[in-house]
Amino acid sequence: MKRPTEIPKADGKLAVLLPGMGAVATTTMAGVMLARRGKATPIGSLTQLDTIRLGKRTENRAPKLKEFLPLASLDQLEFGGWDLFQDTAYESAAHAKVLSNEHLAEVKDELSAIKPFEAVFYPEYVKRLHGTHVKKAANKAEMVEAVRADIRKFVKDRGCSRAVSVWCGSTETYLPPTDVHASIKTFEAGLLKNDPGITNSQIYAWALMKERVAFANGSPNMAVDHPAARELAREVSVPVAGKDFKTGQTLMKTILAPGFKSRMLGLRGWYSTNILGNRDGEVLDDPDSFKAKEVTKLSVLETILEPKKRPELYGDFYHKVRIDYYPPRGDQKEGWDNIDIVGWLGYEMQMKINFLCRDSILAAPVVLDIALFLDLAQRAGFRGTQEWLSFYFKSPMTAPELQPEHDLFIQVKKLKNTLRWMMGEEMLTHVGHEYYD
Ligand SMILES: NC(=O)c1ccc[n+]([C@@H]2O[C@H](COP(=O)([O-])OP(=O)(O)OC[C@H]3O[C@@H](n4cnc5c(N)ncnc54)[C@H](O)[C@@H]3O)[C@@H](O)[C@H]2O)c1
């Protein structure tokens, strides 16, 4: 990643393409529409609300991120997407029941105009869904071409100057990369041969990257987390990021665990359980899809606490994560955590957290920020994995030889320092010795 000398302005409309137009995608779209009409505040979004300190504390320079950076404005965004159900964004949002009827009525016309393209959907990767709004093609290579045609059509019809994409589709069954994912060459041969290792989300990601559209992955799928995708992202110069939006219980874990570690408090066990009743919950009721989610959720504590470096505190903790599908609760997930910690001389303590959250309300600002930052990264000439966006993900993608950073506070520092560096500002060290020397 080279420091950009000049970042082109965010001129023209930006297409925000969201494969999977379910609860998260439609809550994001509706929220942007409400915010740009001044009918609601985009709470949770750094790009819309946060400031950034620049220079010394005595300089009192803390502009809003959206004033400091050449970001696209909400007015410039044009939403599109794909789904295996043909519901418009309005119908899908009404079905998801995340937003109130009053909020939806306010933007009904705009949402109703967003109709999904037909999906690439090989059902073996998402066993609980049965949709009919799907593409037909002789092989996976043709599917890639069909998605590329959709992208070009959308960008042309809506008069956009460029596009970004964020995967908001369902969690697929857990399938680690195989030989077919080794390189661009093997992957493209696999597409022609309908290789079973190539999933729906990988087909979209491939098509989007081929169209030079930056791609972020909001689910635990291996959409771009494999060597062939890394090679393509570098070759065609697109930024990619992932994976699995950090919201709800995992967000809380990455806030609390760094606190325990900072104060050298030990951990004996962390039991987390959730009930949720939205379509995401239904998909995750399938053990193979849950496996993918479990992998991203479990990795968090190990990497924050680093048991090998501190065996006396974290050498033997028990970590369990459960998700149960419970339809009456809809999108209003409830999570319980029981945390067994130990203090001075090994005395035990317990903490219980009962988080009554709203899944898509926490995810929507994340989707918006990722879309705007990816667009910025693309204009700044960044390519490949964007580790500085780890802040937004449960299982941050990194170079293969690196450990991901999960600590939310380190992640936000990294994000803001990257932005300072990108804009030619001094990075913050927090040393501050000059005030006392
Ligand atoms: N807080 C959160 O809500 C949160 C947090 C982390 C990750 N996620 C992930 O984000 C994704 C979206 O969550 P959601 O609550 O909106 O789920 P959802 O079930 O409401 O929406 C997903 C949509 O994707 C569609 N879909 C599935 N496969 C597709 C394909 N191949 N092509 C096109 N569309 C396809 C489904 O039909 C559905 O409409 C899920 O993978 C979820 O695990 C959500």
**pLDDT tens digits along 351-393:** 999 999 999 999 999 999 999 999 999 999 999 999 999 999 9
Q: How far is the CA of 308 from the centre of ligand 1 (A)?
A: 36
Structure tokens at 406: 């999960």
Q: How far is the CA of 156 from the centre of ligand 1 (A)?
A: 26
**pLDDT one-digit tens code per residue, 18-65:** 999 999 999 999 999 999 999 999 999 999 999 999 999 999 999 999
Q: 247: Cβ below 6 Å to ligand 1? A: yes
Q: CA 84 to CA 370: how far, in whole Å?
A: 24
Hey, what amino acid is at 157?
D
Structure tokens at 219: 């689910």
pLDDT above 90 (res 104): yes
Q: How far is the CA of 334 from the centre of ligand 1 (A)?
A: 18
DSSP calls for 278-316: SHHHHHHTSHHHHHHHHHHHHHHHHHHH-TTT-HHHHTT
Q: How far is the CA of 83 from the centre of ligand 1 (A)?
A: 10
Are 318 and 204 spatial neighbours (Cβ–Cβ below 8 Å)? no
pLDDT above 80 (res 222): yes
> What whole-number percentage of the chain has pLDDT above 70?
100
Hey, what amino acid is at 275?
I
Q: Give the orientation angle of helix 359-379 with respect to helix 248-262, to 10 degrees.
A: 80
* Ligand 1 atom at shortest distance from the alpha carbon of 92: 39
Of 108-112, 327-331, 404-408, least confident by mean pLDDT is 327-331
Q: Which residue minimizes the CA distance to atom 6 of ligand 1?
A: 245
Residue 111: strand, helix, or coil: helix
Hey, what amino acid is at 430?
H
pTM of the model: 0.96
Which residues, listed in sequence order, are joined to residue 321 by a DSSP beta bridge?
272
Of 282, 283, 275, 279, residue with least CA distance to 221? 283
Are 373 and 47 spatial neighbours (Cβ–Cβ below 8 Å)? yes
* Ligand 1 atom at shortest distance from the alpha carbon of 293: 43
Q: What is the pLDDT of residue 5?
A: 82
Q: CA 353 to CA 232: how far, in whole Å?
A: 43
Question: ∠ CA 163-31-68 to the nearest 5 degrees?
Answer: 60
Q: 20: Cβ below 6 Å to ligand 1? A: yes
Q: 171: Cβ below 6 Å to ligand 1? A: yes
* Ligand 1 atom at shortest distance from the alpha carbon of 129: 37
Q: 385: Cβ below 6 Å to ligand 1? A: no
Q: CA 383 to CA 232: how far, in whole Å?
A: 10
Q: 317: Cβ below 6 Å to ligand 1? A: no
Q: 129: Cβ below 6 Å to ligand 1? A: yes
- b/e map 162-184, b = 16+ CB within 10 Å: bbbbbbbbbbbbbbebeebbebb
Q: What is the pLDDT of residue 2?
A: 74
Which residues, listed in sequence order, are joined to residue 51 by a DSSP beta bridge?
64
Q: What is the pLDDT of residue 431?
A: 85
Q: How far is the CA of 19 from the centre of ligand 1 (A)?
A: 9
Cα radius of gyration rounded to whole Å, the chain: 22
Burial of 203 (0-12, 13-18, 19+ CB in 10 A): buried
Mutate to test the pocket of ligand 1, among 168, 172, 247 (most ligand atoms within 8 A of CB): 168
**pLDDT one-digit tens code per residue, 250-277:** 999 999 999 999 999 999 999 999 998 8
Strands of 318-325's sheet in order across: 318-325, 266-276, 334-342, 348-356
| List of residues 6+ apart from 331 with CB closer than 8 A | 23, 96, 97, 98, 276, 277, 278, 358, 359, 360
Domains of the chain: 13-245+360-422 (3.40.50.720), 249-356 (3.30.360.10)
Are 290 and 371 spatial neighbours (Cβ–Cβ below 8 Å)? no
What is the DSSP-derived secondary structure letter of residue 64? B
